[in-house]
Chains A and B, each alone.
Chain A
Amino acid sequence: MIEARDLSKRFGDTLAVDHLSFTVQPGRVTGFLGPNGAGKSTTMRLILGLDHPTSGAATINGKPYAQITSPLRTVGALLEAKSVHTGRSARNHLLFLAQTQGLPTSRVDAMLDLVGLRDVARKRAGAFSLGMGQRLGVAAALLGDPQVLLLDEPVNGLDPEGVLWIRNLMKHLASQGKTVLVSSHLMNEMAVTADHLIVIGRGKLLADAATADVIARGSGQSVRVRTPAPGRLTELITAEGGKAVLADAPAGTGDSAAADDAPVLTVTGMPAARIGELAASASVVLHELTPQLASLEDAFLELTSDSLEFGHLDSAQFDSQPAPAADGSVR
Chain B
Amino acid sequence: MTTTTAAGQLESGAARSGGRAGFGHLMLAEWTKIRSVQSTAWTLVLFVIITIGLTALFTWITIANWNGLHAAARDARALSDPTSIIFGPSIYLGQLTICVLGVLLITTEYSTGVIRASILAVPKRFPMLGAKIAVFAVLMTVLAEIVVFGSFFIGSAILHSRVSVSLSDTGVLRSTVGAGLYLTVFGLFAMAIGALVRHTAGAISIAIGVAFVLPILAGLLPDTSFFNHLVAYLPQQAGSVVYQVHPTGTQLLSAWEGFGVLCIWTVLLLAIATYLLDRRDA
Contact = CB atoms under 8 A, between A and B. Distances in A.
Interface of A: 45, 48-52, 65-66, 68-73, 75, 77, 79, 81-89, 92-93, 95-97, 99-104, 106-107, 110-111, 113-116, 140, 142-145, 161, 165, 168-169, 172-173, 176
A139 to B, nearest CB: 11
Interface string B114-132: 1111011111100000000
B22 to A, nearest CB: 8
Interface of B: 1-3, 5-7, 9-22, 25-26, 28-30, 32-33, 36-39, 108-109, 112-117, 119-124, 279, 281-282
Nearest to B119: A50
B121 to A, nearest CB: 4
27 contacts: A50-B119, A50-B120, A51-B282, A52-B279, A72-B120, A79-B116, A81-B116, A83-B113, A88-B33, A93-B114, A96-B36, A97-B29, A99-B29, A101-B25, A102-B19, A102-B22, A103-B14, A103-B15, A104-B14, A106-B14, A110-B12, A113-B5, A114-B6, A114-B10, A144-B15, A169-B6, A176-B10
Given A51-B282, A111-B9, A176-B10, 9 more contacts: A49-B119, A50-B281, A84-B114, A85-B108, A87-B39, A101-B18, A106-B14, A110-B14, A144-B15
A113 to B, nearest CB: 7
Contact of A101 (B12, B21, B37, B108): B21
Nearest to B19: A102
Most chain-A Cβ atoms within 10 A of its Cβ — which of B13, B16, B123?
Answer: B123
Contacts of B19: 102
B28 A107 contact: no
Closest 8 CB pairs of A and B: A145-B15, A92-B36, A99-B29, A102-B21, A96-B32, A100-B121, A83-B116, A168-B3
B112 A77 contact: no
Contacts of B282: 50-51
A139 B73 CA distance: 64
Contacts of A45: 281
A100 B15 contact: no
Given A87-B39, A97-B29, A168-B3, A68 B123 contact: yes
A310 to B, nearest CB: 30
Contacts of A165: 1-3, 6
B17 A77 contact: no
A112 to B, nearest CB: 10
Contacts of A89: 36
Contact of A99 (B1, B7, B28, B114): B28
A84 B7 CA distance: 26
Given A102-B18, A104-B18, A66 B123 contact: yes
Nearest to A175: B7
A93 B16 CA distance: 20
B1 A116 contact: yes
B125 to A, nearest CB: 9
Contact of A92 (B6, B17, B32, B117): B32
A115 B6 CA distance: 8
